[in-house]
Amino acid sequence: MGARCSRFCLCWWRSHPKPSALESTDLENGEKDSLPSFREFSWDELKAATNGFSPDNIVSEHGEKAPNVVYKGLLENERWIAVKRFNKSAWPDSRQFLDEAKAVGSLRSERLANLIGCCFEGEERLLVAEFMPNDTLAKHLFHWDKQPMKWAMRLRVALYLAQALEYCSTKGRALYHDLNAYRVLFDQDGNPRLSCFGLMKNSRDGKSYSTNLAFTPPEYLRTGRVTQESVVYSFGTMLLDLLSGKHIPPSHALDLIRGKNFLMLMDSCLEGHFSNDDGTELVRLATRCLQYEARERPNAKSLVTSLMSLQKETELTPMGEACLRMDLTAIHEILDKTGYKDDEGIANELSFQLWTNQMQETLNSKKQGDAAFRAKDFATAIDCYTQFIDGGTMVSPTAYARRCLSYLMSDMPNEALGDAIQALVVSPEWPTGFHLQAASLFALGMENDAQQSLREATNLEAKRNRN
């Protein structure tokens, strides 16, 4: 498990608690203030931000039939942006383009990759949105190279996507064009967000649907029009994606479901990681979304209610969520900030024993280990903490915890598990010890044992908060 894996491989859960059923998806006041209001950009400004629309800055493109390219850019104020550049004929009416962009740009939600501006000069038509650095749902679901997306995160993607659609619906933007796994992006915290680009009508008044015909809503094939019910149908196809880890045509999936073979739909990587009740409920919801008659499909609000009930009831702390998604970088930041405050009695023991030479050498090893840990020199940290621990003059659960993470960062999960256990021997009711035990077990592929350790850590955190 290298540094890249620790950052991206399972970077799914944000490092703060999950939303409750009543929590709004609107941005809180502080976030609204940090996100700029919609504005018009100049061509020169966007050209500079994207390094002259360099091919090296392209983050997605859709081929000859839809040659609209998205670039990563950096503004002068150090804000990263995504710039979608349309082909020359997509928006001949600049006024229509501006009106549409302003309407979508008025939306502000933590469930969206929000639109923050546009540009129209001559024949150029560009949209500017928040940049999402952690790839698309399609990448993480279909093309993963380390570990598959966990069941809990698939449920969260479904919920956040439904919340995004519900929010847009309440703001009068219920139509979303060509909803698919490439339209769901992951932000810097690993949270799924819906791209705002699909909310824009195109120059043909929304009459476009670019997915394979096998995934196209039936009524669109008849009328050529996108409706709210069409969006729900597409949401159903995405539920199938989340269930199966593949892009399965709805007709084939429905045949399996009618034959009561829904387990054949499930991603084999998820075996043993979800309850049959949860799987059955998600299949049932997908089936409702994929009804042939549009009026028989649920609305976005109903989807949110159904999916909220499937989310895990226990709210994880930032440490717990970092362990669940195996974000070792986040765990490192938490351990570094926390320091040694959970080491009972170590400060008094240090002050009492500092006068001995052996103690001074041991203390120097710990200090050198801490400096290396802070600098992310994990090999040196392991060596120094080993000298400190082997010195035997004092016992520090935090030293075990830091060496545990250093082992994880060095792709040594067995050694990491040993240190997590030792930390718990010293402090049997220390949540951090259980958190790191969970992270080590996840790294070893022992999912059920890891989940049990995570529950124990969460229960101990809750107990602490009550006292």
Specify the CATH number for the domain of residue 289.
Answer: 1.10.510.10
pLDDT of residue 205: 41
Domain of residue 53: give its range: 19-131
With respect to residue 27, please indicate whether it lies within any of the assigned structural domains. Answer: yes
**pLDDT tens by residue, 87-114:** 777 788 889 899 999 999 999 999 999 9
Residue 109 lies in a domain: yes
Rounded to whole angstroms, the Cα distance separating 85 from 100 reads 15
- Same domain, yes or no: 346 and 362: yes
Please give the Cα distance from 127 to 148 (Å, whole number).
Answer: 32
- What DSSP string describes 109-150? BTTEE-EEEEEEETTEEEEEEE---S-BHHHHHHS-SS-PPP
Spot the catalytic one: 44, 99, 135, 178: 178
Q: Do 113 and 204 have their domain in common?
A: no
- Is residue 380 a part of any domain in this protein? yes
Distance in angstroms (rounded) separating the CA atoms of residues 439 and 421:
12
Q: What are the φ and ψ backbone dihedral angles of 150, each rounded to 5 degrees? A: -70, 155
Distance CA 327, CA 45 (A): 35
Identity of the residue numbered 217: P
For residues 322 and 361, membership in a common domain is answered with yes
DSSP state of 292: S
Distance of CA 352 to the CA centre of its chain: 47
Is residue 301 over pLDDT 50? yes
Structure-block tokens of residue 313: 């009831």
- pLDDT band with cut points at 50, 70 and 90 for residue 23: very low
| Measured distance CA(197)–CA(114) in Å, rounded | 9
Is 24 in the same domain as 127?
Answer: yes
Number of structural domains (the chain) is 3
CA atoms of 367 and 466, how far apart (whole Å): 34
Examine the pLDDT at 457 and tell me if it is beyond 50: yes
Q: What is the mean pLDDT of residues 253-276?
A: 81
pLDDT tens per residue, range 154-168: 999 999 999 999 999
Query: What mean pLDDT do residues 325-329 have?
Result: 88
Question: Under the phi-then-psi rule, with left for phi > 0, alpha for psi from -120 to 50, and beta for the rest, what region is 409?
Answer: alpha
Write down the pLDDT at residue 359. 66
What's the alpha-carbon Rg for the chain, to the nearest Å? 25
- According to DSSP, residue 214 is labeled G
Question: Binning pLDDT at 50, 70 and 90, where does residue 13 land?
Answer: very low
Domain assignment of residue 194, yes or no: no
Residue 58 has phi, psi (to 5 degrees) of: -70, 130
Q: Are residues 127 and 173 in the same domain?
A: no
User: For the chain, give me the number of helices (H) and strands (E)?
Assistant: 20, 9
Asked if 158 and 299 count as a contact pair (C-beta separation under 8 A), the reply is: no
Residue 4 lies in a domain: no
Model confidence band, residue 349 (pLDDT cutoffs 50, 70, 90):
very low
Tokens representing 187 are 């932000």
Mean pLDDT, the chain, integer: 83
Residue type, 321: E
DSSP one-letter code for 9: I
Between residues 81 and 309, the one the model is more confident about:
81
In 205-327, where does DSSP find H-type helix? 218-223, 228-244, 250-258, 276-289, 300-308, 318-324
Q: 332 CB contacts (<8 Å, ≥6 apart)?
A: 373, 376, 405, 409
Instruction: Please name the residues in contact with 243: beta carbons below 8 A apart, sequence gap of 6 or more.
Output: 154, 265, 266, 267, 279, 282, 283, 286
Is residue 190 in a domain? no
Residue pair 190/12 in contact (Cβ under 8 Å)? The answer is yes
Are 364 and 290 in a shared domain? no
Q: Indicate whether 58 and 139 sit together in one domain.
A: no
My answer on whether 205 and 120 are in the same domain is: no
Q: Is the confidence at residue 245, as pLDDT, over 50? A: yes
Residue 63 has pLDDT above 50, yes or no: no
**Averaged pLDDT for residues 193-198:** 94
User: Per-residue confidence at 306, pLDDT binned at 50, 70, 90?
Assistant: very high
The helix, strand and coil proportions of the chain, stated in percent and rounded to the nearest 5, come to 55, 10, 35
What integer is the mean pLDDT of 132-141?
A: 91
pLDDT class of 1 with cuts at 50, 70, 90: very low
Domain edge (last residue) among 283, 311, 339: 311
269 and 365 co-located in one domain: no
Side chain identity at residue 51, one-letter code: N
Q: Residue 49: is its pLDDT beyond 70?
A: yes
Question: CATH no. for residue 379?
Answer: 1.25.40.10
Q: What CATH number is given to the structural domain containing 124?
A: 3.30.200.20
Domain end, chosen from 104, 131, 158, is at 131
Q: What's the CA gap between 337 and 274, in Å, rounded? A: 34
**Strand pairing category for 58-60 and 69-74:** antiparallel
Same domain, residue pair 144 and 95: no
Candidate from 182-196, 239-253, 305-319, 427-441 with smallest mean pLDDT: 305-319
Higher pLDDT, 244 or 361: 244
- Give the pLDDT of residue 430: 93
Read off the pLDDT band of 48 (50, 70, 90): very high
The answer to the question of residue 191 being in a domain is: no
Tell me which of 125-134, 281-290, 448-457 is least confident: 448-457
In a domain, 276, yes or no: yes
Q: Which residue has better confidence, 178 or 61?
A: 178
Q: CA-CA distances (angstroms) from residue 54 to 67, 70, 72, 94, 382?
A: 15, 11, 9, 25, 42
Instruction: Check whether residue 127 and residue 150 sit in a common domain.
Output: no
Q: pLDDT tens digit string along 396-427?
A: 899 999 999 999 999 999 999 999 999 999 99
257 and 209 share a domain?
A: yes
pLDDT of residue 21 exceeding 50, the answer is: no
Asked about 178 being catalytic, the answer comes back as yes
Domain boundary (99, 116, 131) is at 131
Q: Which pLDDT band holds residue 466 (cuts at 50, 70, 90)?
A: low
Cβ atoms 181, 241 nearer than 8 A: yes
Give residue 274's pLDDT: 80
Q: How confident is the model at residue 351 (pLDDT cuts 50, 70, 90)?
A: very low
Higher confidence at residue 14 or residue 179?
A: 179
Span of 232-236, 268-272, 370-374, 377-381 with lowest mean pLDDT: 268-272
